[in-house]
Structure 1
Amino acid sequence: MMKAGIICLVLFVFAVFWAPSAFGVTNVQQEIDIRNKQIEEIQKQIDQYQKEIDANSSMARTLSSEIGKLNAQIGKIQLEIKSLGIAIEQTGMEIQNTSGQIQELESQLNLHKAAMGCYLASLNELDSRSLTEILFKHQRLSEYFNQIKELEDTQNNLQLAIVEIKGIRSDLEDKKLTLENKENELQDLKRFQVSAKSSLEQNKTVKNKILVDTKGKEVKFQELVTKAQKDIEAIKGQIGYLLQQGITVEDAIKYGELAAMRLGIRPAFLIALLDVESGLGKNVGTGNWMDDMYNCYLKLGKESRAAQEKDAFFAIVNKLGIDPNSVKVSREPNYGCGGAMGPAQFIPTTWLAYEAQVANLTGHTLPNPWNIEDAFTAAAIKLAKGGAADKTRTGEIRAAKAYISGSSTCSSKICNYYSNIILNKAAIIESNL
């Protein structure tokens, strides 16, 4: 019994005084802070490029101003891609750091459990002894009851500690999941940044060709500007994700301009955002409501949300007379759940909130989230509400942030990169509309 008591005591001391190593955590945090500073420095350079773009945009449209603006846009996007790469690396470090903390807590939790098991075994052993054995073991009966009391107190303390550690462990696992989601989102945004850079470089090639064709003569360039019509091919290069949904470039322009005109926002901004949304939904139109929406929320333990989205989805398809299993929604991504519908990527509950306004503007008695005009109109309503009706860079940034996060003042890296990508794409589309 004495040997067992010593073992229990050792386990108890380890459990109580266990201190996770702070050395590794400190080093990782220092690396994270270094990357934060790098991102801040890059942002200053990005802001400088934006000033150049704004300055060129305010000037009369000339050959030199067009090329200058395009060069600044390319430089800006290159820096944003670099910033995204650092941010993704930083997020990976944060995930690794959190995983290490979870492992430390699991070790601490196991020590507490082992100590508790040891003391419980001692209690059971004492309970199994006869009164004669107890009297021979202890000179006074009070010594026995004192030992029982000490063991019970220790057991209670350990139980409280385990409850506390489980709570911390749960919080850390949630944090890890959040960080993994952030990394997935950043990877998506980086992909769009690379795509935007490619588009800008293509446009630069076109502009350089104009310089060659006009032999640098401003008069000839102004003639081209005067005769300019919509450059369908150039716009097509910017809305690849919408085209993948079966939307033609002509329809994207037609309904984009119509919806934007109704709500007083820029058509280029609306079309750019919808293309980025479709790109984020590389899963658009490949999922179904049961697996990618309803069951997904159930797996995440969100029974109420699962029921709400299911009810909203069936309310939509039933009114339209559509077989719920015949229509496609966004597939379950690496983070969150699918279920977003059509070009505007509205989830069912959100669509119902905008349905009446869409009907009022389009004249469609039964708005359909898979209908191009209805979807574009719903997106335009949401963007106008978010601040895009100002037709300013600030207003459109606020609107884009509200579209992805629900908050126009969102300051996360995801919101910032998302809004920048849309405005970069909108600038190119605008020049070709």
Structure 2
Amino acid sequence: MKQSLVLFACAVAFLGALSFPTTSFAVTSAEERAALQAQLDQIERDIANNKGTLSELQKQRTTLERDIAILDNKIKTAQKQIRQTDLTLKQIQTDITDKQQAIRLVDIKVVKGQDSLAQILRRTREIDDLSIATLALATGSISDVFQQIDNYETIQKALGESFEEMALYKEELSNRKRSLEEKEDEAQKVRTAQLIAKQAILEDEKEKQTILNATKGQEKTYQQIIADKQKQASAIRAALFGLRDSGAIPFGTAYDYAKQASQGTGVPAALILAILTQETNLGENQGSCYVKDLATGNGVGKNTGRAFNKVMAAPRDTTPFQTITESLGRDWSNTPVSCPQSVGYGGAMGPSQFIPSTWMLYKTRLANLTGETFPDPWNARTAIFATALLMEDNGGDGGTRESWRKAALRYFAGGNWSKPANAPYGDGVLRHMDKIQAEINILEGK
């Protein structure tokens, strides 16, 4: 009977280990969450009002007063967007903390269940090896032997059910971890959007100060500055167009490539170049990294040598990254990619910032469009065509300002494109597009 009791004790422990309630791990109260959402809703209304004012200002005749008012409006909107991203990050961090706590609990239960299961299996194997006579001697009577056999069969059946339960809990653990990664990626996108809003403030403040210093408030002087700019076609064509993790090329060359890409996709050349400008500006602030371990995706900062975890998702992106670099004759351990931020992964390549797994999905289409045998993510022309293709797939050939903004947001945030906290990316692309289109108009004599 002793063996039977031990076996039942193990089974009870195992089943107990697998039985746990589905618990909510909220770290903030419902009232705090509601207050946070109310603040976000008010900020979204303020941003919408500011954009309405901006739209009205842009319809007015170009004057010094109007353009200073436009810059002031943009600065205020960007400040609101920064506050919006702060509150959104607070919401996301609460979700991340909840998910981390839930993962820890499920992980502990799975480990306990595995230990108890292993003990039961050891005991059942021991009983399997015993004869009826040995069991009778050990238990003291034949009736006890048959009772133990009945118990043993019951536990064997329970074991089969428990294996199924264990598989379900492991699947739940995997799903929770995947959900956590998605939240971490969302947080990284919001932080990037916040950086864009801060950049916008700096650019607008600088432009405002430059105008005021040059004109000293005189309308006539301002109109002369505008006229002079329109005569600078040769300077515009020769000016360098920066490309992330790649060498800068003359703007005129970049525009020629973008025109070719536009003809093949229907995406405006100015929009293609605006995306690349946005990504290059982000690269200057976020830095680049090298992958040093394909098994883990960990690496180091390109300029600092600082160790980074999650430079690239392994094996999802490290495997195609090795294929891409080796096919191009590059050393994967010394080829720059984007660095991870505080959460999520980095690993995006070249000026167009495709992750390796996505690049491989576009490889054949890019080869057909560019004529390359194996498209190079770090090549300027190829990157411009890649951006055009992805923007076409995202609706960037829609022909309206709203379709361009939506396509830019989808380029940046995928399925989360409509979340208000990501808005600075789309707004920033349109700002760059307007400036680039103005330069293109000069080049084209419009």
Q: Contact (CA 8 Å) 1:261, 1:267: kept in 2 or not?
A: yes
Distance 1:172 1:213, change over 3 A: same
Distance 1:108 1:290 in 2: 31
Q: 2:136 aligns with which of 114, 125, 132?
A: 132
User: Deviations for 1:327-382, whole angstroms, at most 9, x for unmatched residues?
Assistant: 974426434563623x33455533552344346xxxx9998754545543553455
Instruction: Tell me how far apart the structure 2 counterparts of residues 16 and 387 of structure 1 sit (CA, whole Å).
Output: 48
Once the two structures are TM-superposed, the CA of residue 33 in structure 1 deviates from its matched residue by 6.0
Say whether residues 1:331 and 2:337 are aligned partners: yes
Give the Cα–Cα distance (whole angstroms) in 1 for the partners of residues 106 and 96 of structure 2: 15
> C-alpha distance in 1, partners of 2:67/2:282?
30
Distance 2:267 2:316 in 1: 36
Q: Which has the higher helix share?
A: 1
Q: Quote how far apart the aligned CAs of 1:124 are.
A: 5.2
**TM-score, with structure 1 as normaliser:** 0.75
Q: Report the alpha carbon displacement of residue 166 of structure 1 after superposing the two structures with TM.
A: 0.9
User: Does 2:193 align with 1:193?
Assistant: no
Q: 2:156 aligns with which of 145, 152, 159?
A: 152
Contact 1:268 1:426 in 2 (8 A): yes
Q: Following the alignment from structure 2 to structure 1, what is the Cα–Cα distance between the partners of residues 430 and 75?
A: 13
User: Is the 2:196–2:424 contact (alpha carbons within 8 Å) kept by the matching residues of 1?
Assistant: no
Q: CA deviation at 1:100?
A: 0.4
Indicate yes or no: 2:430 matched with 1:423. Answer: yes
Q: 1:329 to 1:193 in 2, by over 3 A?
A: farther
Residue ranges of structure 1 left out of the alignment (5+ in a row): 318-322
SS of the aligned residue for 1:139 comes to helix
Residue number in structure 2 paired with 1:98: 99
1:15 corresponds in structure 2 to 17
Residues 39 and 242 (structure 1 numbering): CA distance in 2 closer, same or farther, change over 3 Å? farther
Rounded to whole Å, the distance in 2 between the matches of 1:121 and 1:243 is 59
Tell me what 1:52 maps to.
Answer: 53
**Structure 1 pair 267–416 and aligned structure 2 pair: CA distance change class (3 A):** same
Partner in structure 2 of residue 65 of structure 1:
66
Cα distance change of structure 1 residues 382 and 27 upon mapping to structure 2, 3 Å threshold: closer
Shift of 1:422: 1.8
- Deviation by residue 1:13-65 (Cα, 9 ceiling, x = unmatched): 6335422543x338477755654453343222212211122111122112222
After the TM superposition, which of the residue ranges 44-53 and 186-195 deviates more from structure 2?
A: 186-195
Amino acid at match of 1:174: R
Show the 5 A alignment for 1:349-428. 349=360, 350=362, 352-358=364-370, 370-373=378-381, 375-376=383-384, 378-380=386-388, 382-383=390-391, 386-389=394-397, 392-404=400-412, 410-412=417-419, 416-427=423-434
Pairing 1:276–2:278 present: yes
Q: 1:299 to 1:39 in 2, by over 3 A?
A: closer
| Native 8 Å contact 2:336 2:349 kept in 1 | yes
SS at match of 2:412: helix
Structure with greater strand percent? 2
Please tell me the residue identity of whatever aligns with 1:228.
Answer: K
Partner of residue 320, structure 1? none
Match of 1:182 in 2: 186
Q: Does the 8 Å contact 2:326/2:332 carry over to 1?
A: no
CA distance 1:285–1:3, shift in 2 (3 Å): closer
Q: How much does 1:171 deviate?
A: 1.2
Q: Counterpart of 1:300 in 2: which secondary structure? A: coil
Contact kept? 2:363, 2:374, Cα under 8 Å: no
Cα RMSD, aligned residues only: 4.4
Q: Give CA-to-partner distance per residue, 1:360-417, whole Å, 9 cap, x none.
A: xxxx99987545455435534554564445553202113313433567x943567544
Shift of 1:99: 0.9
Q: TM-score, normalised by structure 2?
A: 0.73
Answer whether contact 2:289 2:339 (CA < 8 A) is retained.
Answer: no
CA distance in 2 between partners of 1:92 and 1:5 (Å): 45
CA shift, 1:118, in A, is: 4.9
Distance 1:20 1:294, change over 3 A: closer
Question: Contact between 2:279 and 2:353, CA under 8 Å: does it hold in 1?
Answer: yes
Q: Distance in 2 between matches of 1:222 and 1:427?
A: 19
Unaligned segments of structure 2, at least 5 residues: 299-309, 441-446
* Mapped pair 1:300 → 2:314: yes
Distance in 1, Cα, partners of 2:228 & 2:311:
54
- For residues 332 and 390 of structure 1, what CA distance do their matches in structure 2 show? 30
Partners of 1:366 and 1:172 in 2: CA distance: 37
Task: Quote the Cα distance in structure 2 between the aligned partners of 1:326 and 1:13.
Answer: 48
Identity, in percent, stands at: 16
Is 1:82 matched with 2:83? yes
Kindly tell me: are residues 3 and 328 of structure 1, through their superposed partners in 2, closer, same or farther at Cα, counting changes over 3 Å?
A: closer
C-alpha distance in structure 1 between counterparts of 2:150 and 2:96, whole Å: 48
Answer whether contact 1:28 1:93 (CA < 8 A) is retained.
no
Instruction: Quote how far apart the aligned CAs of 1:145 are.
Output: 2.0
- Aligned counterparts of 2:398 and 2:63: Cα–Cα separation in 1: 27
Distance in 2 (alpha carbons) for counterparts of 1:400 and 1:285: 22
CA distance 1:221–1:112, change in 2 (3 Å) = same
The CA deviation at 1:101 is: 0.4
Change beyond 3 A, Cα 1:211–1:389: farther
